[in-house]
Structure 1
């Protein structure tokens, strides 16, 4: 037996036009980049890391410029001074102020890392984009080359390349030599990521529409496919910088770094090893700064990856 509920119209009162406007909740339209920025700002670790990176960059630029001490000026009457109000990080064996030299070294380390990362960006994006877009035989050949290069530790390529470019008898390397050395092999990861994204994107309707309108392969790749990989590219670029900082520090530590009197954080750590038991503070400061830079970039890169992932959109 069915029971029908009879509802009288008098039980309901229609809303007025003003009440309809009040009741209607319209979510403002938010673009992809604005939404990603909002998610990034909610990540405390990423925000703090970005602030630390910005502070180090500003200090690396202005501390050597504004300090009364020159990074290369010797003062033999003030050698091996401990940290004090006059010399915050102490002085080295030649009386040079280590506070200034550490931030000057951070400037060179970051400059080398950023230049190398952007060169790797260009090579990796173009290489991976071509491999993914054309596919087939072209993709197989290009990726087998990548597999061969990846099978050998990347640091070996860097050391060999820098040893070839360095002048005989030189005690260190030039900026260009180190940048090229870091750029010769670190593009492989970027190429693989871009290739994977392009392989997925080239099946989309907008690529077919571009082909139907007569767009060339180069135009489709440069104007349509690569811009749609920008999220992955930015994250990978952010993670390439700390990797380059670490590699440069390692190369400087084994004597392949910036030639004196210039210094990077790695060369400062290398110079401090001679007096590690007597003057340990000389090694502590550059080492801590290297760790802070690498950790900050890694945390920021992780936060950026989460922010740019559409799956995390709320």
Structure 2
């Protein structure tokens, strides 16, 4: 009972220290907004990720106006037409005589709310044939804002699902290796060293090459999750193994053996729970690697395929300097990747700082 009270008090102290880190709290808010946008992407985006208008290829971001001829009339955008100008360059001309009011809770492309409920209501939008491009348009005239929101579903969920699988594997293998030691430890650690020795990105490419080309986007998604999980567990397993080598000699573990508890129950109930403190911030620091891994695969055409969106394949348009110079707004997905990775890293560092005294205390016991 005393151990439980102490554990709770230590976690409470660590949480209070974390809350004092304002930058980390801000990053938590940023991630909460991003995940909220991912969950409700269909409602928050004015268009479906497939909705395209070829006449608006690489259209610049729409300018939202509130006044017309000096009179306030609410948010609206002017009509635009595209023309082929000099050197066959597409140019967009604003038609000040045509206005499209921005309507809220308007009807638009059908989608499934939370993946279950078919609806057509969007938070905002404009009537056809008007187009509202908050972030501009891509090469097919698709709204980048909508595609960034839909793409966040893939990029953000892969990080969470992938790290959950790999950390479960790492905890179990590290726990077994540290608890048994001897030959079991040697075999499992050599396996870990193999995965840590091979350059991760090249191993990622090799495993992705083994996936059949005729897989649909859902199958590709889960293939990427499995691949990223398969190569991401080794470093955690080695650290958990070191912690378990110390924990297995504790009095409560020896007492559990005396009482006849099975090895599996001892590992799961009495050893692995004492590694959770380290695992919490290790998870936060590992998630960015999964997001970047998926983005890299999709960027080079080996991940999520068009027309489905992920932050990685949205950046495929930005692989040309000419396109970036002509349409710099295609770099928006890179900003979201950067913001997400930095937020997870800052939160992970803050958790490490707040949990570090507790980890030291566990090692000294």
Q: Please give the range of the TM-score, normalised by the shorter of the 2 chains.
A: 0.7 to 0.9
Instruction: State the secondary structure of the residue aligned to 1:106.
Output: helix
1:12-45 Cα shifts (integer Å, max 9, x gaps):
xxxxxxxxxxxxxxxx987222222111101122
State the partner residue of 1:100: 146
Q: Using the alignment, how far apart are the partners of 2:358 and 2:225 within structure 1? A: 36
State the structure with more CA Rg: 1
Mapped contact 2:196–2:235 kept (Cα < 8 A) = no
Determine whether 1:301 maps to 2:348. yes
Q: Using the alignment, how far apart are the partners of 1:166 and 1:237 within structure 2? A: 30
State the partner residue of 1:270: 316
- TM, length-normalised to structure 2: 0.74
Mapped contact 1:50–1:300 kept (Cα < 8 A) = yes
1:125-158 Cα shifts (integer Å, max 9, x gaps):
1111111100112111111121122111012222
* More contact order relative to length (CA 8 Å, sep ≥ 6): 1
Unaligned runs of 5+ in 2: 65-131, 361-365
State the partner residue of 1:190: 236
Mapped contact 2:45–2:145 kept (Cα < 8 A) = no
Mapped contact 1:173–1:259 kept (Cα < 8 A) = no
Q: Using the alignment, how far apart are the partners of 1:206 and 1:171 within structure 2? A: 49
Runs (4+) of structure 1 exceeding 3 A deviation are: 168-173
Determine whether 1:80 maps to 2:50. no
Q: In angstroms, what is the RMSD of aligned CA positions?
A: 2.2
Deviates more, 1:167-176 or 1:226-235: 167-176
CA shift at 1:65, angstroms? Answer: 2.4
Unaligned runs of 5+ in 1: 1-27
Deviates more, 1:140-149 or 1:268-277: 268-277
Q: Using the alignment, how far apart are the partners of 1:217 and 1:107 within structure 2? A: 40
1:149-196 Cα shifts (integer Å, max 9, x gaps):
211101222211111113269899711111111111111111112111
Identify if the C-alpha distance between structure 1 residues 83 and 102 changes in structure 2 by more than 3 Å, giving closer, same or farther. Answer: same
Mapped contact 2:204–2:228 kept (Cα < 8 A) = yes
The structure in which a higher percent of residues are helix is: 1
Identify if the C-alpha distance between structure 1 residues 278 and 172 changes in structure 2 by more than 3 Å, giving closer, same or farther. Answer: farther
Mapped contact 2:277–2:359 kept (Cα < 8 A) = no
Determine whether 1:180 maps to 2:226. yes
State the partner residue of 2:22: 44
CA shift at 1:87, angstroms? Answer: 1.3
Identify if the C-alpha distance between structure 1 residues 312 and 212 changes in structure 2 by more than 3 Å, giving closer, same or farther. Answer: closer
Mapped contact 2:298–2:312 kept (Cα < 8 A) = yes
The structure in which a higher percent of residues are strand is: 2
After TM superposition, list the pairs within 5 Å mapping 1:128-143 onto structure 2.
128-143=174-189
After TM superposition, list the pairs within 5 Å mapping 1:1-314 onto structure 2.
31-84=9-62, 85=64, 86-167=132-213, 174-274=220-320, 275-283=323-331, 285-310=332-357
- TM, length-normalised to structure 1: 0.85
Q: Using the alignment, how far apart are the partners of 2:242 and 2:204 within structure 1? A: 26
State the partner residue of 1:15: none
Deviates more, 1:110-119 or 1:289-298: 110-119
